[in-house]
Amino acid sequence: MTETFGPEYVRPAAKVCPNCPCCTAALCEKGATSILECFGHTASRDTLETVAGCPCSSEETQGTAAWRAGKLRATMRAELKPLAVDVEAALRAIAAGTAVPEHAEQMTPLTQLRYVGFIDSLPAITELGATYLAARDEPRFTTPVEVELVDVNARTARVIVVGWSLTEPATVLLDQLTSATGLKAEELPGKFLEANANCYTEHADDLVLTNITLAPPLPSSWTAGDIPLVQDETADADQPQWRVDGVSSGGEA
């Protein structure tokens, strides 16, 4: 008797992500490198609610694309469109632990921006809120930025922010650089840019670059690796003298 049906093929089960209970490994790998998070790469409506807020791609998880984009948004708001005076005052009060019932009206915009969350029904500042306040309070400086390499799969770029450190690299969003410069990803390595940066910050992951542009042509000694920073001739002999727009190199305050 001739078999009228072919063999039954069963699609192999997708590999489960080892770091969360809600997604496949492939979805988390994609979500972590996208500002859309896992939620934005889920086609099935049945699973949208399940993967929403996945920790592998959340803006609350250090190192994800959404986390880097969130810090960039908070910094740009601080630079270009600060909160209303009363709303910022409420955020500062929450950060200091002195919030009062009179601040209740300001909670709505702060929670919508995710600058404030709640712990045991009490308002608490989030990392985004802290990033916003830091950008409002800390000086920012224009500094050369050298692109060392790009990772197209991870959508990130490794850069040297000269005003912060001449040796320790920082990671930024690749799409931020391509959008700001008009260059393709493969054209970026080796390029010098200019950007505003919080050069007094302690950790590389807290560096946020804004106002990125292509740098003007540099002296040959710079591109050869011998980068002469501006020397402040009026500085005291016992003070650090190497500066980029007045900032000590090496991430020093």
Whole-structure pTM value:
0.78
What are the boundaries of each domain within the chain? 15-58, 66-137, 141-232+240-248
Asked if 29 and 155 count as a contact pair (C-beta separation under 8 A), the reply is no
Is pLDDT above 90 for 109?
yes
CATH number at 66-137: 1.10.10
Distance CA 148, CA 162 (A): 12
* pLDDT for the residue numbered 235: 46
CATH number at 141-232+240-248: 2.40.50
pLDDT digits (tens, 9 = 90+) for 208-232: 999 999 988 766 766 666 655 554 4
Give the mean pLDDT of the chain. Answer: 85
Half-sphere exposure in the Cβ direction for 153 (13 Å, CA)? 2
* pLDDT for the residue numbered 43: 72
Name the DSSP letter for residue 151: E
Asked if 170 and 198 count as a contact pair (C-beta separation under 8 A), the reply is no
